[in-house]
Amino acid sequence: MGDDSASTVDIVLIGGGIMSATMATMIQLMRPDWSIAMFERAESVATESSNAWNNAGTGHAGLCELNYTPLQKNGSVSTAKALTVNTQFQESLRYWAELVQRGSLVQPDRFIRSIPHVSYVSGETDVAFLRKRYDALAHKAPFRTMVFSDDSDQLVQWAPLMFEGRGGSTPIAMTRSVAGTDVNFGELTAQLVQSAMNGGMHLFTRHQVTGLSRRGDDWRVKVVNRDGGGKKFFDARFVFVGAGGTALHLLQASGIDEAKGYGGFPVSGQFLHCTDPELIARHAAKVYGQPQLNAPPMSMPHLDSRVIDGQRVLLFGPFAGVEPRFLKAGSWTDLFRSIKPNNLRTYLDVAHDEFGLTKYLIGQVLLKQGAKMDVLRDFIPSAQDSEWVLHNAGMRVQTLKPGANRHGKLEFGTEIVSSADGTIAGLLGASPGASTAVSIVAHILERSFPAEMARGVFDDIFPLRTAAATDYERTLLAGEDIIRDVLGLEGYGSNI
Ligand SMILES: Cc1cc2nc3c(=O)[nH]c(=O)nc-3n(C[C@H](O)[C@H](O)[C@H](O)COP(=O)(O)OP(=O)(O)OC[C@H]3O[C@@H](n4cnc5c(N)ncnc54)[C@H](O)[C@@H]3O)c2cc1C
């Protein structure tokens, strides 16, 4: 219980992005009687990384992302990461379908649609890799819709824009899967938050959490009203730090041992945005290429056909940049403020070891728009400068963490940091991010609320987790039928 100056709730969610929105609705399914308060510093939810214009909207399922299937030293292609991400995305789809069936999410075509996912490579070495990747994946049930081709007639049909004006004799190959999706995570976030508010959650926009401290078994959360400056205190038994880039600051402020040693390195993203409606209409796929030398895995170049708020768009990128801010609307002191005596060594180790990445990022910062267009011309040789403008997307704060012997290393996944007693949890990093929000949140709930989760409220939604290997395919295909029927995704279903 809090004292007179604090309100008491069961759960505090910091941030109004896809992660907190997912957490809110899952907690309500698990314990509808628990009170929840969500605090968002901006004027509305989903203005940062979860906003449709700030991310690439790819439903990451391992269908086209070449970095999920690295070539191993023995010459084989590892499929483990692609399979894991695929299962996690299936869980997201099943969860969203469940909420549509319950009437909590409405009009799924406003936040998700089918779009072919294509991997594109050129040059003999990469073509041989793609064929090997296809051979390793295509016989597995989740990847059965994948088709490989190095036949130019077929490739032109799949991506006509990419072959206009293309000369030369460099071999090119693609794989294409109709099970791909384009997701408007901003719209999805807004619908999830609305659903949680219908279930009784209180949303406080323009309210910034500025402090966290222990009060007995509870956390005392200090919140500042950004319109007028008044401060309030809330006591909660569980706090979720879904503050995107600035989660690191808040986890540090909590003082939990588990956050010590962590650092963050912000990488901004930019896309080229096509302004010609005729060109936009002629490309209908998400096409992922090979990352450049030393590029972080999330910087694979891709050409994305998307629909955002009913409007068809064509984006290419991302181009990386370096900024000290942890949010798009963050402060220039964010990076500086994250450096503490307990993580200084982590920063220094990474600065020393990741020279290649530093070089890549400096190269990206120095790239003028003309040079960015040259990168695009590897995908669309006929692209004209006048048809594309630069667009600033969201910030990703890459996690720096103490590894073996406390030596600092760079981490590209999404990292869950939670206290030993499970009363506070937060997320660092950004990839594969929004696509895997449901499984990430389920994982946190299992750690923090084992007794409630043991009641099996999500068992029907997450059968893939427990399906024995022999049962995996049958369970997956049954789930795909539900996904096709409820979310209207024609690329899914046991008949494909
Ligand atoms: C360029 C780019 C491309 C991406 N592409 C994809 C993709 O194709 N597919 C995919 O699945 N993922 C993608 N991601 C990752 C994905 O966008 C993120 O993983 C996801 O949106 C993170 O959601 P979040 O809720 O943690 O953070 P956010 O959406 O950033 O939300 C955090 C919220 O917390 C608020 N906040 C911060 N501090 C406070 C505070 N102290 N008090 C109150 N509120 C606070 C912020 O204002 C913000 O609204 C991409 C990311 C980027 C940057």
Answer whether residue 330 shows pLDDT above 70: yes
* CB of 397 closer than 6 angstroms to any ligand 1 atom: no
What was the pLDDT predicted at 298?
A: 64
Residue 210 CA, closest ligand 1 atom number: 41
Answer whether residue 176 shows pLDDT above 70: yes
Residue pair 214/424 in contact by the 8 Å Cβ criterion: no
- Quickly state the pLDDT bin for 263 (edges 50, 70, 90): very high
Kindly give, in sequence order, each residue whose CB lies less than 8 Å from that of residue 421, ignoring residues fewer than 6 positions away: none
Residue 356 lies in a domain: yes
Distances in Å between the alpha carbon of 76 and those of 73, 79, 118, 132, 388?
Answer: 7, 9, 21, 8, 39
* CB of 393 closer than 6 angstroms to any ligand 1 atom: yes
* CB of 317 closer than 6 angstroms to any ligand 1 atom: no
What was the pLDDT predicted at 73?
A: 93
Residue 257 lies in a domain: no
* CB of 6 closer than 6 angstroms to any ligand 1 atom: no
What is the pTM assigned to this prediction?
0.95
- Residue 327's domain comprises 264-401
Answer whether residue 1 shows pLDDT above 60: no
Residue 345 lies in a domain: yes
* CB of 274 closer than 6 angstroms to any ligand 1 atom: no
Q: Which protein residue has the closest C-alpha to ligand 1 atom 51?
A: 55
CA of 22 to the centre of ligand 1 (A): 12
CA of 48 to the centre of ligand 1 (A): 5
Residue 332 lies in a domain: yes
CA distance 18 to 66: 25
Residue 434 CA, closest ligand 1 atom number: 11
CA of 229 to the centre of ligand 1 (A): 25
Residue-wise pLDDT for 22-66, tens only, equals 999 999 999 999 999 999 999 999 999 999 999 999 999 999 999
Q: Percent of the chain at pLDDT above 90?
A: 77
Residue 298 lies in a domain: yes
Residue 27 lies in a domain: no
Q: Which protein residue has the closest C-alpha to ligand 1 atom 15?
A: 433
What was the pLDDT predicted at 175?
A: 98
- Quickly state the pLDDT bin for 183 (edges 50, 70, 90): very high
Distances in Å between the alpha carbon of 395 and those of 85, 193, 233, 321?
Answer: 22, 22, 29, 9
Residue 435 CA, closest ligand 1 atom number: 11
Question: Tokens 């690439």 correspond to what residue?
Answer: 56
- Quickly state the pLDDT bin for 86 (edges 50, 70, 90): very high
Cross-strand bridge partners of residue 411: 399
* CB of 37 closer than 6 angstroms to any ligand 1 atom: no
* Least confident segment among 302-311, 323-332, 406-415, 434-443: 406-415
What was the pLDDT predicted at 363?
A: 76
Residue 357 lies in a domain: yes
C-beta atoms surrounding 313 within 10 Å: 20
Residue-wise pLDDT for 120-157, tens only, equals 999 999 999 999 999 999 999 999 999 999 999 999 99
Q: How many domains does the chain divide into?
A: 1
Answer whether residue 382 shows pLDDT above 60: yes
Residue pair 52/185 in contact by the 8 Å Cβ criterion: yes
Residue-wise pLDDT for 103-119, tens only, equals 999 999 999 999 999 99
What was the pLDDT predicted at 431?
A: 65
* CB of 15 closer than 6 angstroms to any ligand 1 atom: yes
H helices, E strands: number in the chain: 15, 19
- Quickly state the pLDDT bin for 322 (edges 50, 70, 90): confident
Residue 68 lies in a domain: no
Q: Whose CA is closest to 315, among 323, 331, 303?
A: 303
* CB of 51 closer than 6 angstroms to any ligand 1 atom: no
CA of 449 to the centre of ligand 1 (A): 24
Cross-strand bridge partners of residue 392: 270
When the pLDDT of each residue in the chain is averaged and rounded to a whole number, the result is 92
Q: Which protein residue has the closest C-alpha to ligand 1 atom 41?
A: 209
Residue-wise pLDDT for 435-475, tens only, equals 999 999 999 999 999 999 999 899 888 888 777 777 888 89
Q: What is the DSSP letter of 71?
A: B
Residue-wise pLDDT for 344-354, tens only, equals 999 899 888 88
Residue 244 CA, closest ligand 1 atom number: 27
Residue 207 CA, closest ligand 1 atom number: 43
Residue-wise pLDDT for 401-446, tens only, equals 888 788 988 887 888 999 999 999 999 987 668 999 999 999 999 9
Q: Whose CA is closest to 87, among 27, 143, 132?
A: 143
Answer whether residue 359 shows pLDDT above 80: no
